[in-house]
Amino acid sequence: MKASYLLTLAPCAVAAVKHYASAQSPLGNTKSCLWRPPPPLGLACGVDEVDLSLPQKSQATEDETSSSKSRNNNRTVEPTKSIWEGPVDCLSSYCIFFNSGFANGRGIVAITTTANVDKLKSIDVAITSSHDTTVTGDAYTVSEVAGKGLGMIASTPLRRGDTIMQKTPALLVHRGFLESIPPSQAQRNLLDAAAELIPSPLKEGFFDQMAHMGGQVHKIVDIMGTNSFQMDLGGQDGHHYGNYPEVSRYNHDCRPNVVFYIDKETLMHTTTVVRQVKPGEELTISYLDPLKPRAHRRHRAHLAWGFGCACPQCSLPDKEADKSDERLEEIARIEAQLADIYDKKVNVKMLKRLAALYEEERLEAKVANGYTMIALNANMLGQEKMAKEYAARAREAVLLEHGPADTGGDAAAMADLARDPKGHFTWRARINTR
Ligand SMILES: C[S@@+](CC[C@H](N)C(=O)[O-])C[C@H]1O[C@@H](n2cnc3c(N)ncnc32)[C@H](O)[C@@H]1O
């Protein structure tokens, strides 16, 4: 009996730990996670973490363009058919492919391999039937934010679970194209040609994005470096950088009020609010791992995006910042204990402490893993009510942080646990092994 518990529990705990660890390591996770910029061509090595966006101004232009078209012509404008074309031009095994009808005529361009464009072709079907959308209408405006350039400002009260926008990418670039082949003018020419193929008005949005190095090395490289998300189309060679111009106006905060994920089945980038937001407050996402200590976060922000992180968490007086770092260390320590089925010190007090630490640290955007660990361990300690409560919380957080196609089916696993703690294989597992 004991042995069978151990055997079945082990993969689960390991999966949870793997999940946690991978979220912190570059490219460890097959899902998109942190904002990681591709390396500027010409630099010897890459830098972890990047992001992207497009101004609401451009969105407005897009809306005006389509509505004025239909007003002026007094007829429905037929969207361009969704057909992948190319290869247009190639370098090494990477070629330009484009689809001007993608996502109901929004369009998309990719620099990728033939195998990956085959995957994109199958994705396209799903996209064309569900639109690219701004879900919470009029939720924000794009305005100047002191010391940060443009930013997203909430124009209405928002609460946890409100989706701000869902967007498909304008440009996808295979990581190998930017990181494996030596920098060259040919590489830059291919990037220029690809960007020119993005259909208007998305193209204007693309070129309007911030280039944080002033475009000195190369404009497209700089735009991608400032505004691209790591994403994975799946398989052995699916790693790409994705650029979503509208999303690029989110500035960074180590304790953000918005979380994002990219669904590799649809390429859709979704941003969702994680706590109450008042009108006038800035909407932010985290470009960095918020569980890392302040010095690490600041170093990363400077290295990758050239800004000294002055978010409220990084701007705490030294004493408070040290306390915050200690809490983050404690979170890591407790989670390591919770992942170890043989740790005899795990108790309910420890679980409550972990939940309190997440709350004190205002980590609403990064609680899925912690709540999953609490739920499983509460059940292993025979705490039915607590297991139910945290399994439900974990499920909700997994959906916000990773989307419905979450890593390893964590949302479904937490739904099972919440439904029937006593029937779950983890029920009293720690008690039975003591
Ligand atoms: C993805 S863009 C965000 C939108 C950008 N502010 C704009 O005007 O388009 C990333 C760039 O914004 C700026 N930025 C983002 N978050 C910041 C922060 N917390 N503090 C200072 N600058 C920030 C940096 O220049 C960074 O390279």
Run of H or E including 68: helix 56-73
Gap between the Cα atoms of 290 and 227, Å rounded: 19
Does the ipTM exceed 0.85? yes
Q: Is 307 in the pocket of ligand 1 (CB under 6 A)?
A: yes
Beta strands in 148-187 (DSSP E): 149-154, 163-167, 171-174
pTM for this one?
Answer: 0.84
Reference 94, options 172, 37, 40; nearest CA is 172
pLDDT in tens, the chain (434 residues): 332 222 223 233 334 433 333 332 222 222 333 566 666 553 322 333 333 332 232 333 333 333 333 333 444 556 678 899 999 999 999 999 999 999 989 999 999 999 999 999 988 666 655 444 555 668 999 999 998 999 999 999 999 999 999 999 999 999 999 999 888 999 999 999 999 999 999 999 999 999 888 777 899 999 999 999 999 998 889 999 999 999 999 999 999 999 999 998 889 999 999 999 999 999 999 999 999 999 999 999 998 888 888 899 999 999 999 999 999 999 999 999 999 999 999 999 999 999 999 999 999 999 999 999 999 999 999 999 999 999 999 999 999 999 987 666 889 999 999 999 999 999 999 998 76
Domains of the chain are 2-24+314-432 (no CATH), 56-285 (2.170.270.10)
245: DSSP letter? G
Question: Mutate which of 252, 253, 282 to test ligand 1's pocket (most atoms within 8 Å of Cβ)?
Answer: 252
Non-local (6+) Cβ contacts of 431 within 8 A are 380, 381, 382
Residue ID of nearest Cα to ligand 1 atom 15: 251
- CA of 217 from ligand 1 middle (Å) equals 19
- For CA atoms 311, 313, 317, 322, the dihedral sign is negative
Find tokens 């701000």 and name the residue. 164
Gap between the Cα atoms of 169 and 110, Å rounded: 9
Q: Is 251 in the pocket of ligand 1 (CB under 6 A)?
A: yes
